[in-house]
Structure 1
């Protein structure tokens, strides 16, 4: 999110001290996105219909199993890393530790210790074509993720509601001009290159399964998206996030043993 690659590790962002070639790539994102949009095999609407993706029904049928694993992990919530600690580039859009993320897969990198704690979820998401990232996204009461845009249309973002406070007037996401609401056991799918923000003004926690999925493309957009991903996967941003996650995996293991 932020000005980084959407909803996963914050990349290519407007952070002081980033190399000039990252700034160049950021400036070129509008041109690249225009080509990707013209090459897209799905709509370029802000909010997408889950029915056009066959895999959504398969995961939806097993949502209670996924929720059970998420709740078991949430039992040690203080040891689940705030996203801003995994990816410092996200500190611009959330200024406290209210948004926590338990990664199973991030930019194709499997977090094996975390996967061992949610094996059924990992098995299910592995069947999603073009899956790039998958994690439990936990939003504390009183949270606000400020308006922002993702960088690239190479992906779309899918949220499966697991624990959703039943107060839609106080818990919502705005994508473009449309306000959407999560429902337990249902998908919310959107293109995060449109400006979006999130509010949880309830007194309860919201938990979703967040999947970042490659957009179905034809050429030449598919070439641009593939080149971008090869670059990103080798970038220092992903390496930094992986290193940060390793430290949090150690902390979570200690919490499970009652050492924290």
Structure 2
């Protein structure tokens, strides 16, 4: 598959989403060791404090990354299945980890950040997520309660009031060096209605669970990791890095 090519919605994922996903999500919610609310208390996740305390190091690596990478890829190019929620090229993504697997070339460019996120229990995805001016992520729901999302503000617009994420009925504004955690199965949307870039460290990690909820979580996430959705995204990331390496040689 060529990077950037928009592919049709996969029939298997549609069937899984319509028939099995609610069953898995109910089981995971019943076995959750933390709140099932849209936004969770970060105090229940001790690693968040270490992440916030390391903000200066993360910001420094982000700035170094930008100075060296002239053309960061859009999320829709790396993962065409995300085209519905990434309707244009304004949402950029620089992956450090994808479903628990590191991207060595990218981790080498951000060693401190990569080491920090590697210690997060149940880490699935870690990336610098950059929203260009006037970028929008339309309302949508995540696929599984088996993962939670963490956003750490990195570099934010001066007009903070007009750059936000709305999760269920709560509108949140990112703060530099501060993190929040949320359940993306609740409807959420993002708007950057400013003339500045919004950059965050975007993390997805396994929800702490037990019993049947843990079993349902492992089965569902195992299926996702083996799906074409993930395999194609990993191939596109590798292809992008190979192209960039060739460009740097020339």
Q: TM-score range by the shorter chain?
A: over 0.9
Could you tell me which residue of structure 2 aligns to residue 22 of structure 1?
13
Shift of 1:24: 2.5
1:238 and 2:230 correspond: yes
Write the deviation string for residues 206-253 of structure 1: whole angstroms up to 9, x where unpaired: 111111010000111100110112212121121111111012112333
The one of 42, 52, 67 equivalent to 1:75 is: 67
Question: Matched residue of 2:203: which SS?
Answer: strand
The one of 89, 96, 108 equivalent to 1:104 is: 96
Specify every segment of 5 or more residues in structure 2 that has no aligned partner in the other structure, as ranges: 1-6
Shift of 1:71: 1.4
Does the Cα contact within 8 Å between 1:79 and 1:252 map onto a contact in 2?
no
The two structures, once aligned, show a CA RMSD in angstroms of 1.6
1:148 and 2:140 correspond: yes
The one of 207, 210, 219 equivalent to 1:215 is: 207
Question: Matched residue of 2:158: which SS?
Answer: coil
Normalising by structure 1, we get a TM-score of: 0.89
Write the deviation string for residues 168-191 of structure 1: whole angstroms up to 9, x where unpaired: 321000000000010000002110
Normalising by structure 2, we get a TM-score of: 0.92
Alpha-carbon distance change, 223 to 112 in structure 1, aligned in 2, over 3 angstroms = same
Work out the CA distance in 1 between the residues paired with 2:66 and 2:103. Answer: 17
Work out the CA distance in 2 between the residues paired with 1:164 and 1:253. Answer: 29
Specify every segment of 5 or more residues in structure 1 that has no aligned partner in the other structure, as ranges: 1-14
Does the Cα contact within 8 Å between 1:76 and 1:252 map onto a contact in 2?
no
The one of 105, 125, 137 equivalent to 1:133 is: 125
1:121 and 2:83 correspond: no
Could you tell me which residue of structure 1 aligns to residue 177 of structure 2?
185
Paired residues, number: 243
Does the Cα contact within 8 Å between 2:9 and 2:81 map onto a contact in 1?
no
Question: Matched residue of 1:159: which SS?
Answer: strand
Question: Matched residue of 1:113: which SS?
Answer: helix
Alpha-carbon distance change, 64 to 252 in structure 1, aligned in 2, over 3 angstroms = farther
